[in-house]
Amino acid sequence: MNLTLQGRVMATGLKFPEGPVALPDGSVLVVEIAAGRLTRVMPDGELKVVAEVGGGPNGAALGPDGHCYICNNGGFSWRTDVGFTRPTGAAANYGGGSIQRVNIATGEVITLYTHCGDVPLHGPNDIVFDGDGGFWFTDFGKTFEDRIMRGAVYYARADGSQIRCAAHPVLTPNGVGLSPDGRTLYVSETETSRLWSYPVTGQGELGHEAWPSPNGGRLVHGLAGYQRFDSLAVEESGNICVATLVRGGISVFSPGGELLEFHEAPEGYCTNICFGGPERRTAFITLSGYGQLFAAQWPRPGLVLSA
């Protein structure tokens, strides 16, 4: 079923927004990747800078402590054509990625992780908290002129005490989300436009499919033609809503892998989605190429992003 997003542009003038987080007062946190900052979009569209985090803040989620946890990809290079901006590779000063914690009341920024053991984080991308207060995050890897570094899925504790690799190698892992019961982890791959699932078998542990699965996941769905997946969110019903580039919109999949709906967005760089508002029936969607946050009516309630 093909649909068109119904709603309004909530904010403009953002520098490649991503990682929306709906707050109880109707405001929405977004990262601005191209500006290296965390910004709060007020209900009337006013923009308030929460913190300057540097690098390339990419995904965000509220932890159980009320702080905002950010996946920082280390920075991109950019190209702008007729007002439309897109990333083209690693920043000239790229020095690795990190996980950061931001106190949204004071703007204090603390770096929690830059490595997993001896392995550096290349491009942390998206994040979701579980019911135990830890979080899963994807590391996209990094794209250079002559190579793409493969990525991984990690699990970490919010106090900075533990990080572990749960799935590797994954080719350009982007969105990450949990099923309503917390027993299934979903991961979207950008360049393959594939959605994968993993059973959560313990704290920070995933079950893996045997070869020929390239990453240990079970294939949920793969779109035909040239499409690219970005971040995702999960509905209260268990459906998985994946931001889809190129065509531009939100692809909705059942847990069994059926493509249920496609909600067309106003632009091709539709990068992320979260749910908020009354009964979590408002989808806040980042339209990054033109720097907009869109608030859309959603047909079903979504899950909250934080634990």
| Among candidate residues 242, 241, 189, the one with its CA nearest the CA of residue 216 | 189
Residue 304: the pLDDT is 78
In the predicted model, is pLDDT for residue 182 greater than 60?
yes
- Would you say the pTM of this structure is higher than 0.75? yes
In the predicted model, is pLDDT for residue 307 greater than 70?
no
Question: Average pLDDT for residues 278-291, to the nearest whole number?
Answer: 97
Read off the pLDDT of residues 104-134 as tens digits, 9 standing for 90 and up.
Answer: 999 999 999 999 999 999 999 999 999 999 9
Question: Average pLDDT for residues 189-198, to the nearest whole number?
Answer: 98
User: Domains in the chain, please, with CATH?
Assistant: 2-297 (2.120.10.30)
In the predicted model, is pLDDT for residue 46 greater than 50?
yes
The band of 185, judged by pLDDT with boundaries at 50, 70 and 90, is very high
- 298 contact partners, CB below 8 Å, separation of at least 6: 275, 281, 282, 283
Read off the pLDDT of residues 15-42 as tens digits, 9 standing for 90 and up.
Answer: 999 999 999 999 999 999 999 999 999 9
- The DSSP-derived string for 238-249 is S-EEEEEETTTE
d(CA 127, CA 101): 12
Angle at 304 between CA 160 and CA 199, to 5 degrees: 70
Residue 84: the pLDDT is 97
